[in-house]
Amino acid sequence: MTDAPSISAINKVLHEELESRARIEVCRHEAEKIIENGRHHARRISNRADDWIGVVQARTDLGVAMRLAEVKRKIPALSGEPTPIEQTAPRLLAAIEELTNDLVGDVE
């Protein structure tokens, strides 16, 4: 022997619970969409960053290759010419020897 107000209250609680579950499910779907959108944006950012890294690496590789080629072109020319120190070394050694002789006297 249940009275009508108790049954009505129980039905109302059950109805509210069903509505709450439905709202929770809607929120869960919205959260999944937000998470998926976030993942999508993160992938796009990562891909763009990878693209830029590739561009920078390619430019760097090209710059290094150009500098290396320039150095390789200059090697034959540089290896044949004496450096300024090589050109002046005999005169410098002679001047040092003369100065030493003037200061200390002839050692021979």
> pTM of this prediction?
0.49
**Residue 3 phi, psi dihedral angles, 5° rounding:** -95, 160
Task: Tell me, letter by letter, the H, E, C secondary structure of 72-84.
Answer: HHHHHHHHHCCCH
Query: Which residues 6+ apart lie within 8 Å of 100 measured at CB?
Result: 107
pLDDT tier, 17 (very low <50, low <70, confident <90, very high otherwise)? very high
Tokens of 60: 């760097």
CA angle 21, 22, 28 (to 5 degrees): 85
pLDDT digits (tens, 9 = 90+) for 33-44: 999 999 999 999
- pLDDT tens-digit readout, 26-75: 999 999 999 999 999 999 999 999 999 999 999 999 999 998 888 888 87
